[in-house]
Amino acid sequence: MWMTEFKLYDYQENLVDQARHILLKKSGVLIQSPPGSGKSVMIAEVVKNAVNKGSHILFIVHRKELSYQIENTLKKHGVDLTHVDILSEKRAKNILSELTPPKIIVTDETHHSRAKTYKDIYDYFPNALRVGFTATPWRANGKGFTDIYDEMVKGPTVEWLINNHKLADYDYKSVVLADESKLKKSSTGDYTKQSMDKAIPKAIYGDIVENYKKYANGQKTILYAHSVEASENIAEQFRNAGIYAEHADAKTSAVKRNEIMMNFKSDIIKVLCNVDLISEGFDVPDCTCVILARPTDSLVLFMQQAMRSMRYQPNKKALIIDHVGNYARHGLPDTPHDWNKYFKGYKKKRSKKENDAPKLTECPECFTVYASELDECPNCGHKNETEEKKELEHKQAELTDIKPFKVDYTIKRYSKDLKDKKDLETLEDYYLYTKANNYKESWIKFNHPYYKQAPFPVLYADLKPIKQKYNN
């Protein structure tokens, strides 16, 4: 058995210790930690400790391909696999009576665990302790996870991981889309889905190949498309422009897929196009760029895809090119989220205007009827592809730098709705007002009492330290 000595970072050790203490008194714990924060080594540590104490482990993943990755990770870390069953949830469900009763059920990507197949497994082994891992304990329907896990332990924020050199910092390019006049808030304080779709129509904004050449030329890039056809088409556009790109999806043969992955990892392929094949569990640390060409209402999907380029390497700066305005729905990778709220669950309220009967979808696998807005069937986990198959309109647009929302929280206070122009006093006030309302900086020149009289170079010289403060 080949193995690697590894040492957990302090924050990883802390999470594992917290989880261990909870399991002394409770029967289930969920460990939340952002994408790229080293979830696999934490999983390996939990499993290794349990196996060394004589426990049998049932390890559940939601895709067969992930089981091979987990197996390799555990082998690397010297785990005795004779005491571990690593299975997809569908396979586990089918052979429950043949399995050794586990002391602990470990579930990777446990945001999927609301599906009925998982519940059947948990119910079959009611005495087993449960440990779940996810970067995003979030469900579109607002249902929490407290019926599966007693408590959640939270990992560090994305911002902390960037500042402490555990994730790469990033630049974010997208289009300023939102027609704010169309945005309406629900009683929860979030923008309603219906108004978001009106303010940000689902489309591809800007030329994908041209923007790659402009911002990321030559960088190792993963592109997420909204359908297989679109992904194949975009790969062909890249090749026609002299940039070697390939498409892979779940139906690509294993031999071909492995070849594509090897060529991508060894830098022969520059752009790897896919739909959702490369979301969970895929690791290419030297991938520096992600292109988002698939609109999604799923926070889980957005985080997994957008942060795929942010695996840490010294001096690396990741680039995220968002052609569909997903940031406007979900924030940026380091936008804070209330994971406790999502873990506990919350009731999604609809405004009166939007209280139409929800659109329903019938699952072709298990025939469960569920809300069309969900990405997958809540019963069996089958992907809802109806959205994906719709063609997306291409719209001309200029991409621009989208700044971290920690700045935007300051900026928000300066929107026209909240602040009157006559209340602006300092140059910084004027600058934040232009940012909040998407004005050009020259607007300051024509509106600030002092700078009306001063030449442009004086204004730009005085603006420089303010812009540095806000990383602009």
Kindly report, residue by residue over 35-51, the tens digit of the pLDDT: 999 998 999 999 999 99
Is residue 128 domain-shared with residue 210, that is, in the same domain?
no
pLDDT at 386 over 50: no
Close Cβ partners of 448 (under 8 Å, ≥ 6 residues apart): 424, 427, 430, 459
Task: Please tell me which residue, 214 or 359, carries the higher pLDDT value.
Answer: 214
Cα angle value 391/224/74 (rounded, 5°): 140
For residue 132, give the nearest of 159, 163, 109, 165 by alpha carbon: 109
Q: What is the pLDDT of residues 215-252, one digit of tens each?
A: 999 999 999 998 889 999 999 999 999 999 999 987 88
| Residue 349 within a domain | no
β-pairing verdict for 369-371 and 360-362? antiparallel
| Residue 348 within a domain | no
Q: Which of 401, 424, 441 is the last residue of a domain?
A: 401
Lowest mean pLDDT among 299-308, 361-370, 392-401: 361-370
Confidence grade of residue 468 (pLDDT, cut at 50, 70, 90): confident
Question: Region 271-275: what's the mean pLDDT?
Answer: 93
Instruction: Write the Ramachandran bin of 127: left for phi over 0, alpha for psi from -120 to 50, otherwise beta.
Output: alpha
pLDDT at 388 over 50: no
Report CA torsion sign: 427, 428, 429, 435.
positive
Token pair of 281 as six digits: 């569990």
Is residue 185 domain-shared with residue 309, that is, in the same domain?
yes
Q: What is the pLDDT of residues 280-294, one digit of tens each?
A: 556 677 899 999 999
pLDDT at residue 352 in the model: 45
Task: Please tell me which residue, 331 or 358, carries the higher pLDDT value.
Answer: 331
Question: Region 138-165: what's the mean pLDDT?
Answer: 93
Is residue 207 domain-shared with residue 293, that is, in the same domain?
yes
Cα end-to-end span (Å), the chain: 51
| Residue 1 within a domain | no
**Rounded CA separation 304/35 (Å):** 6
| Residue 272 within a domain | yes
Task: Please tell me which residue, 357 or 213, carries the higher pLDDT value.
Answer: 213
Is residue 184 domain-shared with residue 329, that is, in the same domain?
yes
Q: Which of 373, 401, 429 is the last residue of a domain?
A: 401
Count how many residues are written for the chain: 472
| Residue 386 within a domain | no
The percentage of residues in the chain with a pLDDT greater than 70, rounded to a whole number, is: 81
Amino acid at 319: L
Is residue 66 domain-shared with residue 113, that is, in the same domain?
yes
Is residue 139 domain-shared with residue 200, that is, in the same domain?
no
Average pLDDT, the chain: 85
- Buried b / exposed e along 346-377 (16+ C-beta atoms within 10 A): eeeeeeeeeeeeeeebebeeeeeebeeeebbb
Token pair of 336 as six digits: 């804070």
pLDDT at 414 over 90: no
| Residue 456 within a domain | yes
What CA–CA distances, in Å, run from 319 to 113, 308, 343? 31, 10, 30
Is residue 224 domain-shared with residue 236, that is, in the same domain?
yes
pLDDT at 92 over 90: yes
The residue range of the domain holding 299 is 165-338+391-401
The CATH number that applies at residue 212 is 3.40.50.300
As for how many domains the chain has, the answer is: 3
pLDDT at 3 over 60: no
Helix axes 39-52, 10-25, angle to 10 degrees: 50
Is residue 409 domain-shared with residue 396, that is, in the same domain?
no
**Rounded CA separation 343/353 (Å):** 28
Instruction: Return contacts of 44-49, CB within 8 angstroms, 24+ apart.
Output: 44/6, 44/73, 44/74, 44/76, 44/77, 44/79, 45/8, 45/12, 45/16, 45/77, 46/16, 46/19, 46/106, 46/131, 47/74, 47/79, 47/84, 47/106, 48/74, 48/77, 48/78, 48/79, 49/16, 49/20
| Residue 197 within a domain | yes
Residue 149: how many CB atoms within 10 A of its CB?
24
Is residue 139 domain-shared with residue 226, that is, in the same domain?
no
| Residue 438 within a domain | yes
Is residue 216 domain-shared with residue 263, that is, in the same domain?
yes
State the pTM of this model. Answer: 0.76
Confidence grade of residue 383 (pLDDT, cut at 50, 70, 90): low
Q: Which of 96, 125, 156 is the last residue of a domain?
A: 156
Is residue 437 domain-shared with residue 462, that is, in the same domain?
yes
Is residue 108 domain-shared with residue 194, that is, in the same domain?
no
pLDDT at residue 372 in the model: 64
